[in-house]
Amino acid sequence: MKAIHYINQFFGQIGAEDKADYPLEVRDGIVGSGAAFQAALQPEVEIVATIICGDNYFNENEAVKEQIADVFRQYKPECIIAGPAFNAGRYGMACGEVCKIADSMGITAFSGMFPENPGVDIYRQYGYIVPTKNSAVGMRAAVKAMSSLIKKFASNQELIGPDVDGYIKRGVRYQYHTGVMGSKRAVDMLMAKLKGEPFETELPMPVYDKIEP
């Protein structure tokens, strides 16, 4: 399976904040942190190209989106690896947008972010985002978790759900037949709650932070 890896200027070994305006560049094969992914993903997945772009440049130039889409059309990847971005906000937004572009083209995308990264809430429905630590010190664990999920996808195994496969809930709901009427399922959940037994709602509601004025 062919994959394309997206990274920012830091992980692309271009530079730090002083290179955040680095324009989009495409290189054949692996670059920087892509080596760890390639080692973990072989032989099922091959990273055929790496996209490098500065965080500021990506978020301030609308034309980057079409450039990335053109790269996808050229290389025809079967999956996209974005990041991981950890808790870097601009990087997370860029990775999320890359996932959104891939999703619009029918390509499955994978990323890794700290759960509080703004890219999670905005883009989680467009790809599979694995929870990571808040900094690059968690790179090894992030690569392992993301690679495990990608290899499962590459081998055509069914992704069962976030609790089983270890990705952040995407907020996507599917309809399916359980063989049990809704009224009975509701009563079963109520009885479990009254007895203090564990149960899982079929319609989880959003949880909002309570912040003092």
Instruction: Say if CB 87 and CB 116 are below 8 A apart.
Output: yes
Residue 177, C-beta contacts closer than 8 angstroms, at least 6 positions apart: none
Residue-wise pLDDT for 101-143, tens only, equals 999 999 999 999 999 999 999 999 999 999 999 999 999 999 9
Q: How many CB atoms lie within 10 A of CB 156?
A: 7
Three-class secondary structure of residue 116 per DSSP: coil
Q: Which tokens sit at 44?
A: 């099922």
The residue assigned the tokens 């692309």 is 12
Instruction: Say if CB 86 and CB 130 are below 8 A apart.
Output: no
pLDDT (0 to 100) of residue 194: 96
Q: What is the CA radius of gyration of the chain?
A: 19
pTM for the predicted model, two decimal places: 0.86
Residue-wise pLDDT for 23-64, tens only, equals 999 999 999 989 999 999 999 999 999 999 999 999 999 999
Residue-wise pLDDT for 160-188, tens only, equals 889 889 999 998 877 878 899 999 999 99
